[in-house]
Amino acid sequence: MGANVVKQANRKRYITAHILQSVSTAMVPFYTAIALKPQYAARWSKAVIKADLTKMQKMLRQVSPRAGNQLGSNGIGYFVTFSLSNSTINYTNGTTIPPGSVQFNFDTRVHRSIAHSVLPFYRRIAEFRPFASTLAKAIRKGDTKAVTCMTRSCIRTPALKSVSIEGSGFALLFEYSFSKYPYRNLLLNESD
């Protein structure tokens, strides 16, 4: 009986179509605002650099009231955390420069480009349950090739350099010629 309980606990930690769709549905309006509203995106970047969580929370709620229970910033990126299905599972979505590269830098132009690129992917997840189910299954199986193929079917920019499975989720690495630093867009389980 003890082994069965452990199996059930581990299964609950892994990503599901429901988790992918919940996070994506909540984040699509935010990424849309970043991609289409330059002034909003510039204000967001300033708040990220200053780690002004109060301002970030207010801005996020303006465009996406359902986005996350918690918000974080490290001065080089942001993280929107979702507590899901009355459990201890927390999934985080955000965009950041890899730690150790630079401090207090978050480029609005890069962020807008990433938002524009990831929107079709997050929309597809949010709106098409079979896609979300297949993606969740590929992540659970550790099938990086399938996850990469599905991601690249929606994100067509050459700036997407790699797709990896991390933290029962995924990490997308973007590199732009007009930026000194790479950026990562993440959707992952914080407890992994």
Q: What's the pLDDT score for residue 100?
A: 87
Lowest mean pLDDT among 8-12, 56-60, 125-129, 169-173: 8-12
Residue pLDDT, tens place only, 41-99? 999 999 999 999 999 999 999 999 888 778 999 999 999 999 876 566 789 999 999 99
**What is the DSSP secondary-structure string of 44-76?**
HHHHHHHT-HHHHHHHHHHH-TTS-SEEEE-SS
The stretch 134-160 carries a mean pLDDT of 97
**Global pTM value:** 0.90
Q: Are 110 and 183 in contact (CB under 8 A)?
A: yes
Sequence letter at residue 64: S
What are the residue ranges spanned by the domains of the chain?
2-189
